[in-house]
Amino acid sequence: MKKILSLAVVLSLIISVPQRSFAWGKIGHGIVAEIAFHFLDSSTKDAVHKYLGSTTIEEASTWMDDMRSDHSYDYMKSWHYVNIEKGQAYTETKDGNVINALNKAITELEHRDNMSKDDIKKDLMIIFHLTGDLHMPLHVGYEEDKGGNDIHVKYLGKPTNLHRVWDTEIIESEKITPNDCLAQLKNFNKSEIDGLKKIDVENWTHEPRSLLTNVYAFKDDTIDQAYIDKNKKVVEMQLLIAGIRLSSVLEQIFKS
């Protein structure tokens, strides 16, 4: 009986430890991958499929989250996000964060001649995933609340946390699709889209970072329909921008 009670106590402690949630969840990351492929030229699509093999683009986009249960990949845990204090700008560091990990994978694939096919595939899946992560506002958020994971709220009456509201709840409850996100293209002219395609990973953090004020703009720990209606388009826009930029990265890597 004592052993059973001890195990129960240990499990309760493990469960109670705050953990970083995923960015976008499976649906969101899949949407980013689909949008990227919408913009890709055929030769780049062929190159991506060549290295992914039997792995689909949707599976590639969630691989880093799927591997979290494998402790041999624990070194990647901090790669999903970057902490920047309120009112501060990002200061270049060698720490393992989403900016450095994404830049490293891009650089390696641009000089892949001596890489194994497995390592190329791994870097490719990292790029698929982290490009999505970077565009979720709470993945460029604040260490003090673990990117919103420690902010407990009620989403239409259901207990959850702020991070999950953004990575899953809005996308699922509003049934956001790739076509919904692509419809947001009407808000950009050609020069603006060309600007989005410029590859500058650190600079990419500025826009999602600027959205944090609205992310935290709720009252009484309650996420109501008005908040959802206001931010649905924000989520769609961020997924669209992430997809556009993922396509740009892939084309640069595999350009002839």
Element containing residue 152 per DSSP (H, E): strand 152-155
pTM for the full predicted model: 0.90
Determine the structural domain holding residue 173 and report its residue range.
Answer: 24-253
Tens of pLDDT, residue by residue over 64-85, are 999 999 999 999 999 999 999 9
The yes-or-no verdict on residue 109 having pLDDT over 60 is yes
Element containing residue 249 per DSSP (H, E): helix 225-253
Comparing 16-20, 42-46, 97-101, 130-134, the range with the smallest average pLDDT is 16-20
Residue 18 CB contacts under 8 Å (≥ 6 apart), including other chains: 146, 149, 150
- For residue 10, is it within any domain? no
Alpha-carbon separation of residue 254 from 110, 246, 250 (angstroms): 8, 12, 6
Neighbours of 207 (CB within 10 A): 16
- For residue 5, is it within any domain? no
Element containing residue 222 per DSSP (H, E): strand 222-223
Neighbours of 214 (CB within 10 A): 13
Tens of pLDDT, residue by residue over 110-162, are 999 999 999 999 999 999 999 999 999 999 999 999 999 999 999 999 999 99
The yes-or-no verdict on residue 180 having pLDDT over 70 is yes
Amino acid at 24: W
- For residue 242, is it within any domain? yes
Burial tier of 113 (Cβ tally within 10 Å: 0-12, 13-18, 19+): exposed
- For residue 7, is it within any domain? no
Residue 10 CB contacts under 8 Å (≥ 6 apart), including other chains: none
Q: Which residue has the higher pLDDT, 255 or 3?
A: 255
pLDDT value of position 256: 57
d(CA 240, CA 198): 15
Please give the average per-residue pLDDT across 3-19, as a whole number: 40
- For residue 14, is it within any domain? no
- For residue 98, is it within any domain? yes
User: What is the total count of domains within the chain?
Assistant: 1
The CATH number that applies at residue 194 is 1.10.575.10
pLDDT band at 22 (very low <50, low <70, confident <90, very high): low
pLDDT band at 21 (very low <50, low <70, confident <90, very high): low
Structure-token pair, residue 144: 């003090």
- For residue 85, is it within any domain? yes
Amino acid at 52: L
